[in-house]
Amino acid sequence: MTSARTRARMIERLRARGIVDEVVLAAMSAVPRHIFVEEILANRAYDDVALPINFGQTISSPFTVARMSELLRAGSGLDKVLEIGSGCGYQTAVLAQFVREVYSIERVGPLLTRTRTRLRQLRLNNVRLKHADGLLGLPESAPFDGIIFTAAATHIPATLLEQLAIRGRIVFPKGSQDQYLCVIERNLQGYTETMLDEVRFVPIVPGIWKR
Ligand code: SAH
């Protein structure tokens, strides 16, 4: 149910749906997705669906993780990436396979505690997790070649745009009711924006979660 064979079938489905970046496919075949969900859901971990992870949040479907990773890489290597919304840490672990240094921010403390344990279990030493409001970014570690949001936003705050390196890209679900994957690229002249697939994400929430 959670074997390498199950994972191989997931990879075949991703290919069938149009994921072509071999680096992303290799990363997803290396990360055991079932350890990121509650045990009771482990047998559904490799299905192409989003699943609940507590605190009203969801782990994105394998296709969504693959698609966003592929858009972020755009066919080339990434040195430093900032992820906003660590959640269960699955997207983080996938990024850590092909990004030199991953910084990930999560606003819900108790989610992050579990995620820390999982990432340690996988011996991912190139991930830095931070309990904070991701909308502020991480100026002390900027600039980033890539910034990825795992929750939907209507716009990107100026402080985050400034933390993007020249030729860097932001991939995020844009909108509130109707959402589309959006890629913002920074070049010497400024920023360009491209809207892609329709998607459904939980909304980004400003500030740190309190009990
Ligand atoms: N990639 C994650 C997705 C989790 S859902 C996974 O696969 O598990 C989105 C996550 O974004 C939630 O964990 C939520 O708490 C977090 N989030 C929402 N607003 C945030 C903010 N302002 N700063 C940091 N994290 C935020």
Question: Tens-of-pLDDT digits for all 211 residues of the chain?
Answer: 567 889 999 999 999 999 999 999 999 999 999 999 999 999 999 999 999 998 989 999 999 999 999 999 999 999 999 999 999 999 999 999 999 999 999 999 999 999 999 999 999 999 999 999 999 999 999 999 999 999 999 999 999 999 999 999 999 999 999 999 999 999 999 999 999 999 999 999 999 998 8
With 0-12 / 13-18 / 19 or more C-beta atoms within 10 angstroms meaning exposed / middle / buried, residue 33 is buried
DSSP tag of 163? T
Instruction: Specify the pLDDT at position 2.
Output: 66
- Of 33, 137, 24, the C-alpha closest to 80 is 137
DSSP one-letter string for 120-140: HHTT-TTEEEEES-GGG--GG
Instruction: Specify the pLDDT at position 40.
Output: 93
Q: Which atom of ligand 1 is nearest to the CA of 92?
A: 1
pTM for the full predicted model = 0.97
- Of 19, 164, 146, the C-alpha closest to 92 is 146
Please give the distance, rounded to the nearest whole angstrom, from the Cα atom of residue 204 to the centre of ligand 1. Answer: 7
Are 202 and 50 within 8 A, CB to CB? no
Q: Where are the domains of the chain?
A: 4-199
Q: Which residues, 6 or more positions from 134, have their beta carbon under 8 angstroms from its beta carbon?
A: 84, 85, 105, 106, 107, 149, 204
Q: Ligand 1, atom 10: nearest CA belongs to which residue?
A: 85
Instruction: Specify the pLDDT at position 11.
Output: 98
Q: Ligand 1, atom 13: nearest CA belongs to which residue?
A: 87
Instruction: Specify the pLDDT at position 4.
Output: 85
Q: Ligand 1, atom 14: nearest CA belongs to which residue?
A: 85
Instruction: Specify the pLDDT at position 32.
Output: 95
Q: Identify the CATH class of 4-199.
A: alpha beta
Q: Is the CB of 202 under 6 A from ligand 1?
A: yes
Please give the distance, rounded to the nearest whole angstrom, from the Cα atom of residue 188 to the centre of ligand 1. Answer: 31
> Ligand 1 pocket check: which of 106, 128, 154 to mutate, most ligand atoms within 8 Å of Cβ?
106
Q: How far apart are CA 87 and CA 92, in angstroms?
A: 9
Instruction: Specify the pLDDT at position 1.
Output: 57
Please give the distance, rounded to the nearest whole angstrom, from the Cα atom of residue 127 to the centre of ligand 1. Answer: 16
**What are the b/e assignments for 141-159, b being 16+ CB within 10 Å?**
ebbbbbbbbbbbbeebeee
Q: Ligand 1, atom 2: nearest CA belongs to which residue?
A: 87
The tokens for 11 are 């990879």
Please give the distance, rounded to the nearest whole angstrom, from the Cα atom of residue 189 to the centre of ligand 1. Answer: 31
- How far CA 23 is from CA of 10, 14, 72, 184, 185, in Å, comes to 15, 13, 12, 22, 21
* Candidate list 3, 29, 60, 69, residue with the active-site label: 60
Establish whether 60 is a catalytic residue: yes
